[in-house]
Amino acid sequence: MPPSSSGRLVLVATPIGNLEDLPPRAARVIAEADVVCCEDTRHSGQLFSRLGLRPHRLVSLHGHNEAARAPEVMGWLGEGLTVALVSDAGLPGVSDPGGRVVAAAHEAGARVTAVPGPSAAPTAVALAGLGDGRWRFEGFLPRKGPERRQRVALAARSDVVTVFYESPRRVDTLLEELAVAAGDARLVAVGRELTKLHEELWRGPIGRARGRWPSEKARGEFVLVLDAAPPETPEPPPPGELAGAVEELVAGGLSRRDAVTDVAGRLGINRRAVYDALARGSPRGRPDAL
């Protein structure tokens, strides 16, 4: 039976460190929801207790039981109940459980909404100051194997910033892999324990980041922001081809200056390269009057 229109699933972002980051609306939804689903009832129970919240009913929903729990959640929504979904930290469904339940709720016709709030990925992007505002999220990579190598290589070639989550045991390994794939000079920002008491944000070339967080000493939650790959500068065609392309346009009625601009724009090269090509073919050592 599809959920009634009065039942709703609310995704609630919880603090990634600083408890003061829980917005008032999130606290109200957690306190008023008929059921609160969370990754770890002990962890969330302690969090809610410290915040002075007393949910009506707290149930577990984590990576191992989400598929089995989804029909039960659909049943609560069908009864017209409000179900709040939280993860241990951040927004559910972003490298945390919740995606299956959200998809099931949509398919069942339930209302799905969210209380946005803390999330490590956009926080790290904002702090890093890299790129042009576009970014892609990789989350946690596989621990090893060809898929991990492929995704690291893809990030190294990407023309937008890439964000990774990584455990302290493998953060130095990831930096080594990124250095090999992207080069020591590529910029990276490494965030550790964001919003917490010992928050750290390091920014600089990958080559200087390597070895800073050895697995035996690293502690806390890590977010890595890899800068976009620099744009590739195309190699200009041979001078003869450039000069020929310009002369063809001039023969068609364009001024030589406009022809140079057109050829440079179509090939994505600097106009100076086209001028130089014409100069090499000019008896006077320079292109004809422009």
Tens of pLDDT, residue by residue over 112-155, are 999 999 999 999 999 999 999 999 999 999 999 999 999 999 99
8-118 and 121-226 share one fold: no
pLDDT of residue 275: 87
- Tell me how far apart the alpha carbons of residues 267 and 220 are, in angstroms, rounded to a whole number: 48
Residue-wise pLDDT tens digits, 240-266: 888 888 889 999 888 988 888 888 888
Divide the 290 residues of the chain into consecutive groups of 10 and give the mean pLDDT of each group: 68 94 95 96 94 95 94 96 96 92 94 95 96 95 94 96 96 95 96 94 95 86 96 77 88 88 81 83 45
- What are the extents of the domains in the chain? 8-118, 121-226, 239-281
Q: Tell me what pLDDT residue 233 has.
A: 66
CATH of domain 8-118: 3.40.1010.10
* pLDDT of the residue at 281: 62
Task: Please give the pLDDT value at position 29.
Answer: 97
Residue 115, strand partner residues = 12
Provide the sign of the torsion angle of the four alpha carbons 170, 134, 117, 209, taken in this order: positive
Q: Which residue has the tokens 């590739």?
A: 232
Length of the chain: 290
Fold adopted by 121-226: 3.30.950
